[in-house]
Structure 1
Amino acid sequence: MFRGSLINILFQTSVVGVLALGETLVMLTGGIDLSIVATMVVTAIVIGGGGSEQQQEMSMSNALPYLGFWLAILVGLAGSIFVGLINGIVIVRFRIPAFIATLAMSLVLAGVALLLTGGAPIYYPDPFFANFVQAKLLHMPYPVWSFIALLLSFGLSRSRIGLMVYALGGNNRAARLSGIPVRRVTILMYTLCGLYAGIGGFLFLARTGSVAPDSGGSFLLTTIASVVVGGVSLAGGAGSVKNAFFGILLLASLSNLMNILLISPHIQDAVSGVIILVALAVNARVNPA
């Protein structure tokens, strides 16, 4: 029974989990990506709208041409990588604070989502997505395996690039003086964050079977809350992917409990906000500036 509950929680949090892994990358450098959910939504729209003939036939407002299933996935993921790359370049080259740069990108992507869909949801993605989300390997759905595979691919604390990321987040100036290519590392982390957002869009479409311009909902709040609760510092240089994973599980378990108790979603958002504040206060005490 415990195993079944754990698998269910992992399935429910697979999308947020992937987004949190991407957010962890940029937060370890001392940055933040507020466009990660908007990137996820646009990617899902491109894959769902451009990769399904049925969607093209049923929707009169879809501005996306029919690309074919695999090409739509490729274009969607390439677009998410491009968004992350642009975020990194803007932050590094023009020295715009990450908060402002990624917030502006989020607004741009919200407009793109509306232009691509005409405000109408994507309801008819390729049947592959329904099969993907229902298929299981060793009693676990494929979305869970996707999340676990991405989680296991992290080796930041032991890799050369990981040491650079921690050094950059710990002290940007010292990292630069020690010869670390600060700009390239920063751009790389934002680019990878964009890729994870794109993968999140793929999994979101598989889980829900539909996507709309406003599908982001409270994903951004939950994503950042998961990372912060896991002990990743907003100032950068502190925390780990392992702890972020436990933060994801903690919030997912809490959300699952509140759903069982039929607690209002609005109250759940308020609880998430309180948890973020508490986690920040604890983090400030443990890792003083």
Structure 2
Amino acid sequence: MNDPATDPATEAFVAHRNLLFTVAYEMLGSAADAEDVLQETWLRWVKVDLEQVGDRRAYLVRITTRQALNRLRTMQRRKEAYVGSWLPEPLLTAPDVAEDVELAESVSMAMMLVLETLSPTERAVFVLREAFDLGYDEIAAAVDKSPAAVRQIAHRARRHVEARRPRQAVPPSVIRAALESFQRALETGNPQDFLDVLAPEVVLVSDGGGIKQAAPRPVAGADKVTRFMVGGLRKNVRRITVAPTVVNGNPALLVHLDGEIDGVMAIHVEDARITGLYYVRNPEKLSHVDSETPLTLR
């Protein structure tokens, strides 16, 4: 019997586990489902004859992609029955994720929501090509399409994403300043403090999952978002505390109401003002905000 510490199958899986998790998470937007996909990948991987595998990393990514595609199609039915707006499950991430601009953008809340508008196959192809820089032949093997078909899908998905992806790269210092201003607004509850940092066209998406109160659909406009924050979030609350954190590789806020964790608020900033607010309150999506989740594109 092989020692698990030196077993080639185990070594390969452990070596690429963070990559496989990142692939699954970017495809699914759910850490819980990504973990399930990794378990399914492992069960299939241990049955593979490694003597027949030339590139173990590529083979593992292929298994993970196929399992994630199956899961993504099932999740689409779940989302159709989801109460209110659906947001990705936030992940507390290490500072090195924030330093990797490409990775931080690919897992940001804003980008993950754009990926939600793609079909399952388009999402898989886009993620594998744009985020992980896989070749068309590798992607074709993962999604059971011809390389020519994958090229067409990649082109279509790229065009779709470019039309919807958040614009304008903003220096980290500008994002931090906007976040600090928004934190002060949350703590004081002063409407003018919100209006000073929110862009006129700001959109708030809140996800309560039918468990916690949330806006049933996105709230658009600085005045309406301010009213939601002042009248909705702070209603019947004695004490609100807000702490900066890093979620999905980007600055965010961890919100506690009366000492209990209420949710995670991620932001998108353009021209020094907040244009996007993503507030995850569903307690079933907050299990990965108390310890860092390692992510990697390599």
Bigger relative contact order, structure 1 or 2 (CA pairs below 8 A, ≥6 apart): 1
Q: Name the TM-score, length of structure 2 as normaliser.
A: 0.24
- The structure that has the greater radius of gyration is 2
Q: Name the TM-score, length of structure 1 as normaliser.
A: 0.25
Structure with the largest fraction of strand: 2
Structure with the largest fraction of helix: 1
